[in-house]
Structure 1
């Protein structure tokens, strides 16, 4: 039995090396989605490269508050603490989301298919409500994008504490998004320590085995580059090489996985234990 899986590469446009690796995997049919950091200086030059995959893969926005592309960026710890204390400005966050949506549209020529978040900031309290408002403003009655639901995490990867924290800080995101009329990903995988020592191939096998139909797995591939602003550069190269390999293709065949765009029309099923 075939099951559809959306395999999404995060961080497109963060750097030339990351974008080049993602484009290669898209061309090889080893990805079915990618999310864009629209604040990145290289987005303007790489947007046209993604056009070749329009309609073949989902192209979304990777909403960012923590990567240092602008003066408003703060470490993830800042957003975690302030969101839990409800000490964030909703209008300011709404404007930040609208600005990143506009930058996406400016260079890609249309609205994104979906929205997720760098380090999952889109799902934090207050941030999520500001994002919902920005989307409604910018879509103006058009079919809404689907959203990645981190609280639907279905596998802890190799770091149960990290998984527990994510589920905790994003609690209620899926319910809140669907109440607002958004389609959400019913199962989410791909979280792990993001270290070069991690067994990415072994974890991918577990994610492919566990994922139900219409699941989504995030990944972070890219070509190896010396980038002081990218602490996971070596991990990206390891992910790229595995996803480009025959071993990955064989695993997809073994578990009946078909890489596909996300189907917003299908019903959401309960989260598997």
Structure 2
């Protein structure tokens, strides 16, 4: 049965090699979305290169609290602990997110098509409330971005335990977004160990085979780079090679998958 999929590359503007790889895949229509680090010093100059692809791919904001683009970043463990204990300031988090939304819009000339989070921080308790506050301050009703719901993870790849933890930490996010009138993909995939030994092509074939119509899968491709600050640099190269290859196109045809922006993939507005 034919099904539509939003394939999203995370981490645009993290580095030149990552961004160049994503742009190359967008050019070949091997992606249908990408998530931007808007506080990256690279973003203002890269926005003009990304803009032409907005007609066939969603361009969204990769909400960031952990990657060290500024002094406000903290390790993921900090946010996991303090969010579960409700020890975070909703107002301060809203200000952080507004800064990232504004930096995105200033460079691209439009608001993000969607919001997700680096290491899924956007769906954590308290952070999610700040996210809704920030959206209310920047979007005019009835317009709203769509949101990635990590608790709708359908397949944890080769890291089932990691997937269970993620769903527990983000529990209730999908239901909360629905009650507030947001659209979210009903199935989410792309989680795996991000290790050099992982069989990314095999995992992607599994996801393509099982994902329902209107799903979203994340990926993390990039061109080869000697980047000691990126612990998954070698994995990015593996993902890029497969996504750019004839094999990926053949796999999409084999499983009758069409890559589309989310509004089209989910048949919104039809």
Fold match by TM threshold 0.5:
yes
Count of aligned positions: 268
Partners of 1:229 and 1:191 lie apart in 2 by: 21
Partners of 1:106 and 1:234 lie apart in 2 by: 32
The alpha carbon displacement at 1:267 in A equals: 7.8
CA deviation map 1:229-255 (0-9, x unaligned) = 211001000000000011111110111
Partners of 1:195 and 1:58 lie apart in 2 by: 27
Partners of 2:86 and 2:132 lie apart in 1 by: 17
> Which residue of 1 is the match for residue 153 of structure 2?
153
CA deviation map 1:141-168 (0-9, x unaligned) = 2510000000000001101111011000
5+ residue gaps, structure 2, are none
Q: Secondary structure at the match of 2:203?
A: helix
5+ residue gaps, structure 1, are 269-273
> Which residue of 2 is the match for residue 271 of structure 1?
none
Residue pair 2:213, 2:266 contacting (<8 A) in 1 also:
no
Residue pair 2:38, 2:61 contacting (<8 A) in 1 also:
yes
> Which residue of 1 is the match for residue 186 of structure 2?
186
Normalising by structure 2, we get a TM-score of 0.97
Partners of 1:90 and 1:193 lie apart in 2 by: 31
RMSD (Å), alpha carbons: 1.3
The alpha carbon displacement at 1:225 in A equals: 1.0
Residue pair 1:146, 1:264 contacting (<8 A) in 2 also:
no
Distance 1:265 1:216, change over 3 A: closer
Normalising by structure 1, we get a TM-score of 0.96
Partners of 2:99 and 2:142 lie apart in 1 by: 18
The alpha carbon displacement at 1:264 in A equals: 7.3
Partners of 2:265 and 2:24 lie apart in 1 by: 29
Alignment of 1:70-109 (within 5 A): 70-109=70-109
